[in-house]
Amino acid sequence: MSNVEEKLWEYIDGTCNEQDKATIAGLIESDEQWRNAFNSMLEMESELSAVTLEEPTMAFSYNVMEAIRNEQAAKPLKTKINKYIITSIAGVLLLTLGILSFLLFEGAMRSIGNHSLDIHIQQINSSALINSTAWKAFIYFDIMLLLFFADRLIRRRSNDDVVKSV
């Protein structure tokens, strides 16, 4: 774009200062080249202002808004509390309290006197527990637990995949 065109567009748009307006108006009246350029630019601007911007149809806008509305809204983030962690923390706490209370009780009993508590625990016959049938039952029980937890894990993952795809 030449300097003449820039000055004329500023004049047409009204963005030039008063001194430039007076100068350009004088050039348009006196110079044929400036007058022709000014008239062609005025025609172009009138044609451009007559053009209406195209807008999408109301049906298209409605369909887009329905598609946005039907998308599943983002769920708020929730921290999932694992019950096994809470249970294990509670178990450790109870075990610690049990050991502490046992030690305090034993210390209190010693301070009362030199009397010791006679607690007799019978020895357990370990050969009955370590036979072939007991081991087989133990292994069978462990395998059943493993299968149960594997099934639960697979179902949870498949449910999560179904929810994500919807």
pLDDT at 47: 85
pLDDT one-digit tens code per residue, 22-81 = 888 898 888 888 888 888 988 888 888 888 778 888 899 888 888 888 776 656 666 677
Q: Which tops the pLDDT comparison, 107 or 137? A: 137
pLDDT at 166: 54
pLDDT one-digit tens code per residue, 114-136 = 555 566 767 766 676 677 787 88
At residue 165 the predicted structure's pLDDT band, cuts being 50, 70 and 90, is low
pLDDT one-digit tens code per residue, 29-40 = 888 888 888 889
Q: What is the DSSP letter of 126?
A: H
8 vs 36: CA distance, rounded Å: 11
Sole residue written with tokens 């999408």: 56
For a pLDDT cut of 90, what percent of the chain falls above it? Answer: 14
At residue 96 the predicted structure's pLDDT band, cuts being 50, 70 and 90, is very high
Q: pLDDT at residue 109 above 60?
A: yes
Copy the structure tokens of residue 18. Answer: 């008063």
Shortest CA distance to 28 belongs to which of 13, 19, 39, 18?
39
Copy the structure tokens of residue 159. Answer: 């449910």
pLDDT at 31: 86
Copy the structure tokens of residue 161. Answer: 């995949």
The average pLDDT across 134-157 equals 89
Shortest CA distance to 8 belongs to which of 43, 51, 47?
43
pLDDT at 146: 93
Average pLDDT, the chain: 80
